[in-house]
């Protein structure tokens, strides 16, 4: 398995992860919102390292930082067009990712919704890195959704399969003038699956796939990250 670069050498790593100060008397592992979406038996099926990552409450302006690199990226012809069309909603899919492309993920609290801001940076051979930002909101019919911006969001379900944390799209929706409209399946980008698997040594493997029932896989992205310790 390809090792992740250290923060000192990482071209996108310019900060350090922080946790809640110890003098508050509150341990950093007090995030229960992901855990509440699963039964206790299913939750304990995750590795201790994965449970720790998704139990860390990021609050009071603090940020969790993960650095790593893309290990694989592929699109079908239809998937390439999907990534281009998605530019109109802020380009939520990587445009220039290649194996060994440096990547950084930061997670912070989104106070207006009580959710989390996930910011992903993908280095480019020239120019500034591509930034993809979304908000995970603990809301909606499934209890979890990813808001991409421009009114577009994804309702997510969460699962544990063979000790791997899996997020799947339940449906896509748009918010217009305060109304939430569910996109019909035929117009939706495709079925989204995201996995988070413990890779040992404070690292985890991230995989994203978008596929359509009759077209097969459209986009696949794999990366490995390591948490930057304070």
pLDDT tens digits for range 22-71: 333 334 457 899 999 999 999 999 999 999 999 988 877 889 999 999 99
**Residue 15: alpha-carbon gap to chain centroid:** 19
Residue 115 structure tokens: 């959710």
Pairing of strands 115-122, 179-182: unpaired
Query: Burial letters for 156-191: b for 16+ Cβ neighbours within 10 Å, e otherwise?
Result: bebebeeebbbbbbbbbbeeeeeeeeeeeeeebbbb
Are 155 and 130 spatial neighbours (Cβ–Cβ below 8 Å)?
no
Residue 25 structure tokens: 């008397």
For the chain, the farthest-separated pair of C-alpha atoms sits apart, in whole angstroms, at 55
Query: pLDDT band at residue 135, thresholds of 50, 70 and 90?
Result: very high
Query: Whole-angstrom Cα distance, residue 168 to residue 222?
Result: 16
Rounded to two decimals, what is the model's pTM? 0.85
Structure confidence at residue 14 (pLDDT): 39
- Across the chain, mean pLDDT equals 87
Helix H or strand E encompassing 52: helix 48-53
Residue reference for tokens 């990712």: 97
Query: Whole-angstrom Cα distance, residue 1 to residue 170?
Result: 32
Q: Using the Cα atoms of residue 46, residue 48, residue 53 and residue 54 in order, give the sign of their dihedral.
A: positive
Query: What are the structural domain ranges in the chain?
Result: 22-227
Write the DSSP assignment of 111-163 as a string of letters: TTTTEEEEEEEE--SSSSPEEEEEEEES-STTS-EEEEETTEEEEEEEEEETT
More confident residue, 20 or 76: 76
Structure confidence at residue 4 (pLDDT): 43
Query: Whole-angstrom Cα distance, residue 21 to residue 49?
Result: 21
């Amino acid at each position: 398995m390809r090792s992740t670069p250290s923060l000192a050498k990482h071209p996108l790593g310019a900060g350090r992860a922080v946790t809640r100060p110890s003098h508050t008397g509150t341990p950093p592992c007090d995030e229960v919102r992901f855990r509440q979406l699963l039964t206790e038996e299913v939750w304990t099926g995750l590795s201790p390292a994965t449970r720790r990552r998704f139990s860390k409450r990021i609050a009071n302006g603090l940020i969790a930082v993960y650095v790593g690199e893309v290990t694989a990226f592929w699109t079908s012809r239809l998937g390439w067009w999907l990534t281009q069309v998605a530019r109109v909603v802020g380009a939520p899919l990587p445009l220039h990712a290649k194996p060994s492309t440096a990547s950084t993920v930061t997670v912070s609290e989104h106070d207006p919704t009580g959710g989390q801001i996930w910011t992903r940076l993908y280095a480019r051979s020239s120019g500034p890195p591509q930034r993809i930002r979304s908000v995970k909101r603990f809301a909606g019919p499934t209890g979890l959704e990813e808001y991409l911006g421009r009114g577009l969001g994804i309702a997510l379900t969460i699962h544990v399969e063979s000790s791997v944390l899996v997020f799947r799209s339940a449906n896509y929706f748009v918010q217009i003038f305060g109304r939430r409209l569910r996109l019909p399946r035929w117009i939706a980008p495709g079925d989204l699956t995201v996995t988070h698997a413990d890779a040992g040594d404070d690292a985890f493997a991230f995989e994203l796939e978008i596929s359509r029932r009759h077209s097969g896989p459209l986009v696949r992205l794999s990366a490995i990250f390591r948490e930057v310790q304070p």
